[in-house]
Amino acid sequence: MTAQSAATAPDELWRLLQQCDALRTFSEREREALLTAIPHEPGMGVRRFAARELICRKGEYELSLCIVLEGCAAVVNDVDPALPPTAIFMPGSIFGELGAMRGRPRSSDVAALAPTLVFFVPRHALKYLEVNEYARNLLAERYREHAVRAMMHQVDLFAALPREFIDRLIPHCRIERHDLRGVPVVQQGAEGTGFYIVLDGFVQVVRQRDDQQNRVLAYLREGECFGEMSLLGSGFAWASVLTAGKCELIKIDKDGFRELCRDFPAVEQRLREVIARRQEQENRVTAELSELLEKSGQLGIIQAEALLVMDLDRCTGCDNCVSACESLHGRSRLIRNGVQIGQYLVPAACRHCDDPKCMNACPTGAVRRRAEGEIYFDYEACIGCGNCAIACPFDTIMMIDTPVFDAAQARKSAIMGREFFRPPAPESREEPVGLLGQLLGRGRRKPLTRPQPAPAEATHVPSSYPIKCDLCDGLPFMGCVHSCPTGAAMRIEAAELFANLHVVTSRAHVRRVEEAG
C-alpha cells in the first residue's frame, strides 16, 4: 500500500465525517474529543488512496475501522480482481468493523475504485466513536450483520446457503459476548434454546456421565457449532458447554434453526453426522485425558497459537535455549520452568493467545498480530507504559531498560543487515560499513528501508520497553529451538499437539475454509 497520510483541516474533516450516519448525532464535546485525539493516537487519521490501490488486504491484522470520506471503495475478488466487486462503499460508508471490534484479520480485499480518502480509526481509538450512544448501537448492529454474514461465508457447513436466506436468518441471530472462563452457555439436561456458532475464542464441552463423573470432551473454536443436539434430538442438552475464556458466539434462535433445517436438509444431515461424532468422542475420552484437557484449558495451552514445548525426556538442562534467547534479545524471554504435562514442559513463554489480553490492554495499539498468528510489539507506537506486562495472565512480558533493549535490537539489525527492528534513538546511529566490517561484527546498520521518524517526533524515548517471546520475529530462526542441542525444544500449535486426541480443531482449518469462501 502506498497510501499517503492526508492532512485535512479539522472543520473540513468534520464536514466529510458528517456523511457517516454514526457521527451525525455527536455532541460538541464528543466532536472536540474526536478531532483533538487524531494527532495523538497512532494510526488514527485520513489517508489518500489512488484508484485501484488496495486499502486493506484479506488476512491482514490491520485492526482499524474505515470510514470513506471521498471517492469510492469496493470489496474486490482477491483471486481475480477483474471480477465485479461484491460490495461498494460510497462516501459515509463504514467497513473493517470485524477487525476493529473483534481483532480478527480482514475478511476481504478492499480497493479504491477512484482516488479515495479514508478515515482510519484504530481498535484502541474506537472509544472516541463509542462514547456516543447512537454510534455505539449502530456499530454493534452493523457488526452483528457483518459477523453473521462473514461466518456463514467461512464455515463450509453453511457454504450452500444463498444470500437471501442469510438475510432472512439475520433477525434470528444474536451475538453473545462472554469475558470470563467457566460461564455455562448450555447446561446439560436443560431445554435447548438455540443453536450456537463460535465466532471468536473457545468453549469447552463437558458431559456428566451416568457415574456422575465429569468429562471434558472437547474444545470448540471459531467456526464450530453446538446446541444442535437438543434441537434435533430429545429437546434437552446432551452435554454442558462452558466458556473457556473470553469468547463471542452467534446464537440462532429455535425458529431460525428450524427454518434452516427445513429449507436445507443437507445442513441437517451434516449436523446429524456431527452429533454422531461427538457421541463417539465420549467413549474415547478417558478420565486421564479429561483431566489433561481441563488443565490445558485453564493454563491457556489449548488457546495457544504457538507453544514452546520441551520434551523432558530429552532435555539435559543445559540452558542453552535460555542463553540463546538472552544473547539475541538482551534478556531471556524464556524461563525454563512452567507447566508440566506428562513428559512435556510448557515453559513460561508467550503463547500467542487466541484472545491476547496484552493486545487489549495496550492504549496505543502497539501490540499487534501477524497473519500467521504471532503477537508482536510495534515499538514505534510503544510508550513503555507496561500495561501489557500487567495484563498478560501468564506473566510472560517483561520490561527491560532502553539501553539493553537498543543494543539487542541493533545486534539483530546487524544480522539481518536491514533496519527491520525499531530504530534506536538518533544519536546511537552509526555509519553503514562494508561487508567485511559487518562480518567482523562492526557493522551496525545499512540505510533504512522505510522512512525514519523525524528527530522531532522521536524525542520521547521510553525508559523501558516490553519484551516477550515474539517467535524471534524478523529473524529467520527461533533462537531457543535453533540452539537446543538435543532437539528437546520445539514450537507447536496447540491444535497440532492435541491432533491425535481429536479434541480441538486447527486454526488452519478455519483459514482453509476462509480461503475457500
Partner 1 sequence: MEAQGALGASIDAVRRTPQGRLSVWLAGCLAALVAFYLSGFRHPPGWGSLRTGCLTLAVFALAALYRVRKRWTWWDLRTMWFGARLPARLGGWWRRADRLETWRHVHIAAGLGVMIPLWWHIQEGAGASRLEIVLLAIVGLLLVSGVSGVLIQDFLPHAMRIRPGYEVRLEDIEGALHDLYVEAEEAILGRPEAFVQTYLRDIRPLMLGSPRSAALLWATLTGSDPTTAVTDRLAHRQPETSDPAAWERLTKLVERKLRLDHNRVNLRLSRGWVSAHLVLVVLLAVLVSFHIAGALYFAGL
Q: How far is the CB of 62 from ligand SF4 (least distance, A)?
A: 18
Q: Does 393 bind ligand HEM (CB under 6 A)?
A: no
Q: Does 121 bind ligand SF4 (CB under 6 A)?
A: no
Q: Does 316 bind ligand SF4 (CB under 6 A)?
A: yes
Q: How far is the CB of 414 from ligand HEM (least distance, A)?
A: 25
Let me know: does 246 contact 204? Beta carbons within 8 Å. no
Stretch 469-488: interaction string toward ligand HEM, x if CB under 6 A: ----------------x---
Q: Does 315 bind ligand SF4 (CB under 6 A)?
A: yes
Any idea what DSSP says for residue 217?
Answer: E
Stretch 294-313: interaction string toward partner 1, x if CB under 8 A: ---------------x-xxx
**Residue for grid cell 539493553:** 404
Number of residues that bind ligand SF4 (CB under 6 A): 26
Q: Which of 39, 84, 441, 447 binds partner 1 (CB under 8 A)?
A: 441
Using the minimum distance from each CB to ligand SF4, give the nearer residue, 54 or 358: 358
Let me know: does 438 contact 417? Beta carbons within 8 Å. yes
Q: Does 126 bind ligand SF4 (CB under 6 A)?
A: no
Task: For residues 108 and 123, give the distance between their C-alpha atoms in angstroms, rounded to a whole number.
Answer: 18
Residue 108 CA: distances (Å) to CA of 146, 244, 444:
12, 28, 40
**Beta-ladder partners of 347:** 338
Restricting to residues 315-354, which ones interact with ligand HEM according to CB under 6 A? 316, 318
Task: For residues 45 and 442, give the distance between their C-alpha atoms in angstroms, rounded to a whole number.
Answer: 40
Let me know: does 186 contact 156? Beta carbons within 8 Å. no
Which among partner 1, ligand SF4, ligand HEM, none contacts residue 400 (Cβ within 5 to 8 A by kind)? Answer: none
Q: How many helices (H) and strands (E) does the chain have?
A: 18, 25
Using the minimum distance from each CB to ligand HEM, give the nearer residue, 43 or 479: 479
Which among partner 1, ligand HEM, ligand SF4, none contacts residue 392 (Cβ within 5 to 8 A by kind)? Answer: ligand SF4
Q: What angle do CA 147, 104, 475 make, to 5 degrees?
A: 165
**3-class secondary-structure state, position 136:** helix
Residues 6+ apart with CB under 8 A from 373: 305, 306, 352, 507
Number of residues that bind partner 1 (CB under 8 A): 54
Q: How far is the CB of 341 from ligand HEM (least distance, A)?
A: 24
Q: Does 501 bind partner 1 (CB under 8 A)?
A: yes
- Greatest Cα pair distance, the chain, in angstroms, is 76
Restricting to residues 223-242, which ones interact with ligand SF4 according to CB under 6 A? none
Q: Does 449 bind partner 1 (CB under 8 A)?
A: no
Question: How far, in whole angstroms, is CA 488 from its chain's centroid?
Answer: 29
**3-class secondary-structure state, position 236:** strand
Restricting to residues 259-318, which ones interact with ligand HEM according to CB under 6 A? 316, 318
Using the minimum distance from each CB to ligand SF4, give the nearer residue, 278 or 468: 468
**Beta-ladder partners of 88:** 74
Let me know: does 222 contact 150? Beta carbons within 8 Å. no
Using the minimum distance from each CB to partner 1, give the nearer residue, 299 or 341: 341
Give the range of 123-131, 216-224, 247-255, 415-423 binding partner 1 by CB under 8 A.
415-423
**Residue for grid cell 500467542:** 352
Phi, psi values for residue 431, rounded to 5°: -65, 145
Question: How far, in whole angstroms, is CA 369 from its chain's centroid?
Answer: 6
Q: Does 318 bind partner 1 (CB under 8 A)?
A: yes
Task: For residues 283 and 292, give the distance between their C-alpha atoms in angstroms, rounded to a whole number.
Answer: 16
Q: Does 342 bind partner 1 (CB under 8 A)?
A: yes
**Residue for grid cell 497520510:** 5
Stretch 93-132: interaction string toward ligand HEM, x if CB under 6 A: ----------------------------------------
Using the minimum distance from each CB to ligand HEM, give the nearer residue, 218 or 488: 488
**3-class secondary-structure state, position 344:** strand
Task: For residues 333 and 344, give the distance between their C-alpha atoms in angstroms, rounded to a whole number.
Answer: 19
Quick one: cell of 269? 444431515
Cβ-based neighbour number of residue 297 at 10 Å? 23
Restricting to residues 378-397, which ones interact with ligand SF4 according to CB under 6 A? 392, 394, 396-397
Stretch 340-359: interaction string toward ligand SF4, x if CB under 6 A: ----------xxxx--xxx-
Q: Does 235 bind ligand HEM (CB under 6 A)?
A: no
Site residues (vs partner 1, CB under 8 A): 286, 288-289, 292, 309, 311-320, 323-324, 327-328, 336-337, 340-345, 411, 414-417, 438-439, 441, 475-477, 481-488, 490, 492, 496-501
Site residues (vs ligand HEM, CB under 6 A): 316, 318, 485
